[in-house]
């Protein structure tokens, strides 16, 4: 389903990577969130339609099962009245309805799988949207600070180029940049470790909640 493929692409998208590669990060973030909101509405609509189809198929299954049972009762009546030919015809009709009911039962099972798939996609997209909305202000602020720092650095570099000790200043700038890169690398590594532990703790909490839920339901 094309809709689920689009949703899957949005779910897999790494917002940080997209921002790093974008020429206009703020515009990109707003567009990504807008796309998610639009896809969320579409998935909700599809879930509602799929559920309606499931209920309709279940109704058809029940109607055919009831008809099959009703024709069995008629066959019994015919047997009681010594009308074997009529009983045979009733049983044949019952068999036809039973086969239709089995066919609808299979369609119901397939439809339930589709509904569950759509519900799972809806849940993941809702979580991704909440995450993106929570990150958007932070990412935009980080981008603005980075842009301002870059402009300040460029202005400072231009002033130093016109001052005495040009060579010395360039060396100082290289050293400072190397230190900043080193510090940034350390911070990124620390963030990565923190993120991994946060993910482990989140999974552990989900496992605990699931165990509690199973215990209550048992």
Is pLDDT of 37 > 60?
yes
Tell which residue, 37, 30, 34, 24, has the closest CA to residue 137. Answer: 30
Q: Yes or no: say if 120 and 104 are a contact pair by the CB < 8 Å rule.
A: no
Q: What is the mean pLDDT of the chain?
A: 76
Burial class (CB within 10 angstroms; exposed 0-12, middle 13-18, buried 19+) of 153: middle
At 111 the pLDDT is 95
pTM: 0.53
Highest average pLDDT, of 22-26, 98-102, 115-119, 176-180, comes from: 98-102
Is pLDDT of 194 > 70?
no
Name every residue whose Cβ is closer than 8 Å to that of residue 22 and which is 6 or more positions away in sequence: 28
* Half-sphere exposure of residue 211: CA atoms within 13 angstroms, side-chain side: 6
Place of tokens 């890169």: 181
Q: How confident is the model at residue 154 (pLDDT cuts 50, 70, 90)?
A: low
Token pair, residue 35, equals: 């796309």
Q: Which residue has the higher pLDDT, 4 or 43?
A: 43
Q: How confident is the model over 60-81, as a mean pLDDT? A: 94
Residue 24 DSSP one-character state: S
At 121 the pLDDT is 85
Q: Which residue has the higher pLDDT, 65 or 122?
A: 65
Q: Which residue has the higher pLDDT, 85 or 179?
A: 85
Could you write out the DSSP letters of every residue in 94-110?
HHHHHHHHHHHHHHHHH
Q: How confident is the model at residue 23 (pLDDT cuts 50, 70, 90)?
A: low
Is pLDDT of 70 > 60?
yes
Summarised one tens digit per residue, pLDDT across range 104-130 is 999 999 999 999 988 988 888 888 888
Token pair, residue 110, equals: 């397939």
Q: What is the distance between the alpha carbons of residues 15 and 29, in angstroms, rounded to a whole number?
A: 8
Q: Which residue has the higher pLDDT, 204 or 160?
A: 204
At 98 the pLDDT is 94
């Amino acid at each position: 389903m094309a809709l689920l493929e689009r949703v899957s692409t949005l779910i897999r998208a790494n917002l940080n990577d997209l921002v790093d590669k974008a020429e206009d990060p703020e515009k990109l973030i707003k567009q990504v969130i807008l796309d998610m909101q639009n896809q969320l509405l579409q998935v909700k609509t599809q879930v509602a339609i799929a559920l309606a189809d499931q209920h309709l198929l279940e109704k058809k299954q029940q109607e055919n099962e009831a008809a099959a049972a009703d024709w069995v009762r008629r066959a019994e009546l015919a047997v009681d009245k010594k009308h074997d030919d009529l009983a045979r015809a009733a049983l044949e009709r019952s068999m036809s309805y039973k086969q239709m009911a089995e066919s609808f039962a299979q369609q119901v099972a397939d439809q339930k799988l589709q509904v569950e798939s759509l519900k799972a996609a809806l849940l993941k997209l809702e979580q991704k949207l909440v995450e993106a909305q929570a990150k958007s202000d932070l990412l935009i602020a980080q981008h603005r600070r980075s842009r301002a720092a870059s402009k300040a650095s460029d202005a400072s570099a231009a002033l130093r180029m016109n001052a005495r000790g040009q060579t010395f200043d360039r060396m100082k700038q290289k050293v400072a940049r190397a230190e900043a890169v080193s510090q940034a690398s350390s911070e990124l590594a620390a963030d990565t470790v923190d993120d991994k532990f946060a993910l482990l703790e989140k999974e552990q909490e989900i496992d605990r909640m699931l165990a509690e839920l199973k215990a209550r339901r048992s």
